[in-house]
Amino acid sequence: MKTYWKYYFILALIMLVCLAFSNQFTTPIYLEVPKNWPKPHYDFSKNPLTEEGFQLGRNLFYDPIISRDNTISCASCHLQQTGFTHVDHDLSHGIEGRIGTRNSLALVNLAWSKDFMWDGGVNNL
């Protein structure tokens, strides 16, 4: 089994640099919840919304550099025009044209989700 530690290390390094500078770049964004909607489940106090964080996330989402072979980004499967999911395939396609074991989840209204991923293994960002 191949290990991808260097890719995880690079991603962790990017995140640490962002965290180190996050206090210097804080233009807050406020989530406007429509009337009669429930309160979001996501705890924004642990990861406040900022313009800079939003732009960083957007850039990483569309950048293929965090894939193992630098060929696909998150947006390759989470297609914006289809509610940030992959509707024309039963299973998402990965690097080297490999077919995954599941399709990408839709990335909409995630503030109201209690956990993330198919198995619920992630509960915060």
- Please give the pLDDT value at position 1: 43
Calpha distance 124→120 (Å, rounded): 10
Options 3.30.830.10, 1.10.760.10, 3.40.50.970, 1.10.150.120; CATH of 5-29+39-112:
1.10.760.10
Calpha distance 125→67 (Å, rounded): 19
Residues 38, 41, 47, 53: is their CA dihedral positive or negative? negative
The pLDDT tens digits for 72-101 are 998 988 888 888 888 888 888 888 888 888
- Please give the pLDDT value at position 19: 63
- Please give the pLDDT value at position 23: 56
3-state secondary structure of 116: strand
Q: Where are the domains of the chain?
A: 5-29+39-112
The pLDDT tens digits for 10-54 are 766 677 666 666 555 578 888 888 899 999 888 888 888 888 888
Calpha distance 61→22 (Å, rounded): 18
